[in-house]
């Protein structure tokens, strides 16, 4: 199980809690307004009305229309309580990945794969060692000895990709990425970011993507989403940008896949998943597609495209961050929660 960077001094466990009056982003319900937390997990998601009957002993939090969604996830080495607190205030949870990032891996790593000693493969693209193609050559060499299935089963991810690599990915490289189920970790706020990249093409080819929001100084999750969707001038724009929903998925569930693999349950809000989410004060939610050609269909309520904060408007304000039942950040603007005869703030 991944560990949070050390922030226990600012975290406290959230008891049984019923959040209502929210706008909940969940595959379990497109129009959910209420979420119950119990034993560090999401216990239920639905409409406000049945919540108090289903969870009569839970403390109650009126979200007052806040948007409730998975928290942004950022993976970084080392413990830094100050960085943890700064991240949480921006709606970001800093995690420590289970496996180190490997740079210029050689035969020893392949031997570990063959022996079954590696559970995860996270690789850095080094321009001096061929960049993306150098990593793909290593994966091919590893597959020759360990087998395609074992390599793909280690959820390979590539970090450190520059705009030059992303903007020149060939169809042959896409085939190799698909073969091994490789996730590409995008850093839209560093250097040239995703300038010139065909992100829609990568998504259409089934290439998993993760998005980071670190710019080298601070965490800027909404600027990162804007960059991935080609909105504004926070960073160089891609050749073809992601939809807001796809960009948000990359910064949440995509980050989980890239650094932890499958099975943690993080990055999505649904019953049984870890209670890891953020509450945001935001304006009207909108549904936007990545391409004008599909805009009409995607904004139709019947299309099932979930609405999100408008990336062309003011950035949402983080009200609270909860990670696996622990409150990492709270602004105090949510008022009081009542339950079992007591009151407390979220």
Closest CA to 142 of 171, 163, 114, 183: 114
Residue 56 is encoded by which pair of tokens? 């009569």
**What per-residue confidence (pLDDT) applies to 339?**
42
The strand order across the sheet containing 317-323 reads 12-13, 326-330, 317-323, 277-281, 67-69, 23-24
Spatial separation of the C-alpha atoms in residues 90 and 328, rounded to whole Å: 11
Spatial separation of the C-alpha atoms in residues 281 and 269, rounded to whole Å: 18
Spatial separation of the C-alpha atoms in residues 124 and 102, rounded to whole Å: 6
Residue 337 is encoded by which pair of tokens? 């929660």
Query: Residue 136 to residues 151, 193, 254: CA-CA distances in angstroms?
Result: 12, 21, 20
Residue owning tokens 């390979």: 156
Spatial separation of the C-alpha atoms in residues 2 and 266, rounded to whole Å: 10
Domains identified in the chain and CATH numbers: 1-94+268-346 (2.30.40.10), 104-265 (no CATH)
Spatial separation of the C-alpha atoms in residues 279 and 288, rounded to whole Å: 21
Query: Residue 14 to residues 165, 267, 334: CA-CA distances in angstroms?
Result: 43, 19, 15
Q: Which helix (H) or strand (E) holds 141?
A: helix 131-146
pLDDT (tens digit, 0 to 9) for every residue of the chain, 346 residues total?
455 543 334 457 888 999 999 999 999 998 999 999 999 999 999 999 999 999 999 999 999 999 999 999 998 655 566 667 788 899 999 887 767 888 888 899 999 999 989 888 999 999 988 999 999 999 999 999 999 999 999 999 999 998 889 999 999 999 999 999 999 999 999 989 899 999 999 999 999 999 999 988 899 999 999 999 998 776 777 889 999 999 999 999 999 999 887 778 899 999 999 999 999 999 999 987 665 433 433 444 445 678 999 999 999 999 999 999 999 998 874 444 434 433 444 5
Residue owning tokens 């990425």: 177
**What per-residue confidence (pLDDT) applies to 114?**
92
**What per-residue confidence (pLDDT) applies to 344?**
43
**What per-residue confidence (pLDDT) applies to 1?**
47
Closest CA to 278 of 220, 331, 224: 331
Spatial separation of the C-alpha atoms in residues 142 and 163, rounded to whole Å: 26
Query: How many CB atoms sit inside 10 A of residue 162's CB?
Result: 18
Residue 227 is encoded by which pair of tokens? 């960059």
**What per-residue confidence (pLDDT) applies to 222?**
96
Query: Residue 241 to residues 171, 177, 221, 230, 236: CA-CA distances in angstroms?
Result: 18, 20, 16, 6, 11
Tell me whether strands 92-96 and 72-75 are parallel, antiparallel or unpaired. parallel
């Amino acid at each position: 199980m991944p560990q949070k960077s050390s922030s226990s001094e600012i975290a406290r466990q959230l008891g049984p809690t019923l959040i209502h009056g929210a706008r909940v982003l969940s595959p379990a319900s497109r129009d959910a307004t209420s979420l119950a937390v119990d034993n560090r997990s999401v216990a239920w998601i639905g409409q406000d009305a049945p919540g108090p009957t289903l969870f009569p002993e839970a403390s109650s939090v009126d979200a007052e229309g806040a948007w409730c969604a998975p928290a942004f996830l950022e993976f970084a080495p080392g413990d830094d309580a100050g960085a943890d607190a700064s991240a949480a205030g921006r709606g970001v949870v800093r995690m420590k990945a289970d496996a180190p990032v490997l740079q210029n891996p050689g035969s020893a790593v392949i031997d570990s794969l063959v022996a079954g000693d590696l559970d995860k493969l996270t690789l850095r693209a080094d321009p001096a060692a061929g960049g993306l193609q150098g990593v793909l050559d290593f994966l091919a060499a590893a597959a020759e000895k360990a087998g395609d299935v074992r390599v793909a089963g280690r959820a390979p991810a590539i970090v450190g990709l520059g705009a030059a690599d992303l903007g020149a990915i060939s169809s042959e490289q896409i085939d190799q990425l698909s073969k091994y189920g490789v996730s590409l970790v995008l850093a839209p706020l560093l250097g040239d970011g995703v300038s010139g990249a065909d992100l829609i093409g990568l998504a259409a080819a089934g290439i998993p993507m993760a998005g980071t929001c670190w710019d080298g100084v601070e965490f800027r999750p909404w600027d990162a989403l804007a960059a991935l969707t080609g909105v504004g001038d926070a960073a160089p724009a891609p050749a073809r940008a992601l939809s807001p929903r796809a960009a948000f998925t990359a910064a949440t569930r995509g980050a989980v896949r890239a650094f932890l693999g499958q099975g943690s349950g993080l990055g999505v809000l649904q019953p049984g998943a870890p209670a890891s989410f953020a509450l945001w004060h935001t304006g009207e939610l909108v549904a936007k597609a990545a391409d004008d050609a599909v805009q009409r269909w995607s904004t139709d309520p019947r299309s099932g495209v979930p609405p999100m904060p408008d990336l062309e408007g003011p950035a949402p304000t983080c009200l609270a961050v909860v990670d696996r039942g622990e409150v990492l950040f709270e602004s105090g603007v949510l008022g009081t929660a009542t339950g079992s005869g007591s009151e407390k703030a979220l």
